[in-house]
Amino acid sequence: MSDDDPGHMDPEAFLVAGRRALEWVAAYRAGVERHPVLSRAAPGELRDALPAEAPERGEAFETILEDLERLILPGITHWQSPGFFAYFPSNASEPSVLGELLSAGLGVQGMLWATSPACTELEAHVLDWLVGLLGLPAGFRSDGAGGGVIQDSASSAALCALVAARERATGGESNRRGCGGRLVAYASSQAHSSIEKAVRIAGLGSDNLRRIEVDERFAMRPEALRARLEADRAAGRVPCFVCATAGTTSSGAFDPIEPIAAVCRELGAWLHVDGAWAGAAAICPELRAPFAGLEGADSYCFNPHKWLLTNFDCTAFWVADRRALTAALSISPEYLRNRASDTGRVTDYRDWQVPLGRRFRALKLWLVLRHYGAERLRAMIRSHVALAAELAGWIGADPRFELAAPVSLGLVCFRHRGGDAVNQELMERLNAGGTAYLTHTRLENRLTLRFSIGQYRTRRGHVTAAWERVRAIAEDVAPA
Ligand code: PLP
């Protein structure tokens, strides 16, 4: 290799390798059901198979692809398998994969409007589109005081919302002098762990996160929230942030946003609504009722990287007052200054997130929305919701099983009546079988199985097959 030949792929070689890569992905997807959904790899298996040192000499793309197949694939859990019923889905539809490829091909870093105007403007535009598609409050649109931004995760969105809330509550003092232990945050006992993580990172401290009681449907009790806020106020603390969840992770419960927003308004706390998983359902007008009250939220997020067919990572995050966010996060060193930013007429998304740099994620979302159109996205969501209702009917009809929570959209929480050990074994044996994968939670301190229907290739046959497997294993694990 000479100085003027550093070994970069020339356009022809890139095309040949690129075709092979795309063929590999297409073949993988066509045959995804041949693999056990949950990887059977043992801890350390891959590392033991990899060379101890990085290669000194470059290797052929074909050789690397062979190793992908031979070494990497056994360590993959197949989130794109239609038998994936674990956690929540992480759909990576083909148009989104192509969007990701185009984004990587452009290789843009969109920290400032000036570093690629299209990266910023497409993002703002597509998030405005989503406001309309999901029936969100017009106040989240970028042509008013609000605006949307793509974050890497709902966790980051919650953190940014909390930092904005912290700054609003302290008039900018906490950025300068730290928190001082008086600020308090609130979320239901069912809120995602990312809220506690945000509270830790933002410096409030876990002890200053109040876990509010839930009702029998696992939704936050607004009157309990009010009582805690008032008590904290009376004790000289500053209630600054409330997170309501639209679709909790454990059971899919919806906290009642309207009364929670009323409490926040009255007592001056920032309301963030976490719709990470369920948010995609609002594309169907008939599924919007549980989102009522979002007009009262200061911020809202949901993950197109879960149920809206856009590959990880892609969290849509909106604020009603973008200045509250940028006031908390903006720092302007000389080396980032430029004419466009100085005019104040452009959006610099670096001020809306934790990192400085950012990928061109809007491209994949744009491809998804354009390829499918709202109509086909709605049809997919409706089919999953209908399958979940059907599954719940089968569970209800089998006396050995019970529903553990009201069915929420595509999520069915259930358990065998035989107790925790039976459910644990049932789940492990189902997952070891390889055709389906589901995970668990605890509800009312009892082990609960979560059957989460949302993988975009899942059809009725996959659900019936998995349910029949559950029944057959139950026969074995806990004979009548
Ligand atoms: N919030 C809820 C309700 C979730 O269900 C999840 C993940 O499943 C998260 C937040 C965290 O999402 P992310 O991985 O985007 O941070």
CATH of domain 373-477: 3.90.1150.10
Ranges of CATH 1.20.1340.10 domains, the chain = 1-30+39-76
pLDDT (0 to 100) of residue 3: 60
Residue owning tokens 């992480």: 90
CA 194 to ligand 1 centroid distance, Å: 7
Cis bond upstream, residue 476 (ω within 30): no
Q: Are 34 and 83 in contact (CB under 8 A)?
A: no
Our CA angle for 464, 470, 474, nearest 5°, is 145
pLDDT (0 to 100) of residue 181: 86
Q: Which residues pair with 242 in a beta bridge?
A: 186, 271
User: DSSP alpha helices (H): ranges in 193-321?
Assistant: 193-201, 222-234, 257-267, 304-307
Ranges of CATH 3.90.1150.10 domains, the chain = 373-477
CATH architecture assigned to 108-359: 3-Layer(aba) Sandwich (3.40)
For β-strands 446-452 and 411-416, DSSP reports them as antiparallel
Of 122, 25, 80, 117, which is closest to residue 364 (Cα–Cα)? 122
pLDDT (0 to 100) of residue 6: 76
pLDDT (0 to 100) of residue 423: 98
Transcribe 371-423 into DSSP letters.
HHHHHHHHHHHHHHHHHHHHHHHHHHH-TTEEESS--BTTEEEEEETT-HHHH
Q: What tokens does 77 get?
A: 């859990």
Q: Which helix (H) or strand (E) holds 126?
A: helix 117-133
Which residue has the least CA distance to atom 14 on ligand 1? 153
CA 98 to ligand 1 centroid distance, Å: 24
CATH of domain 1-30+39-76: 1.20.1340.10
For β-strands 401-403 and 315-319, DSSP reports them as unpaired
Residue among 193, 196, 220, 249 to mutate when testing ligand 1 (max atoms within 8 A of CB) = 249
Ranges of CATH 3.40.640.10 domains, the chain = 108-359
Query: Who contacts 253 (Cβ-Cβ below 8 Å, separation ≥6)?
Result: 190, 214, 217, 218, 219, 245, 247, 405, 408
Residue among 277, 302, 317 to mutate when testing ligand 1 (max atoms within 8 A of CB) = 277
Residues 322-375 have pLDDT tens digits of 999 999 999 999 999 999 999 999 999 999 999 999 999 999 999 999 999 999
Residue 413 and residue 439: Cα distance in Å, rounded? 10
Q: Which helix (H) or strand (E) holds 439?
A: strand 439-443
The residues lining ligand 1, judged by C-beta closer than 6 Å to any ligand atom, are 88, 153-155, 192, 194, 245, 248-249, 274, 276-277, 303, 315
pLDDT (0 to 100) of residue 116: 97
CA 433 to ligand 1 centroid distance, Å: 27
pLDDT (0 to 100) of residue 450: 98
- Across the chain, which has 480 residues, the per-10-residue mean pLDDT values are 76 97 98 98 97 96 97 98 98 98 98 98 98 98 97 98 97 91 96 98 96 98 98 97 98 98 97 98 98 98 98 98 97 96 96 97 98 98 98 98 98 98 98 98 98 98 98 93
Residues 187-226 have pLDDT tens digits of 999 999 999 999 999 999 999 999 999 999 999 999 999 9
CA 67 to ligand 1 centroid distance, Å: 32
CA 184 to ligand 1 centroid distance, Å: 22
pTM, two decimals, is: 0.97
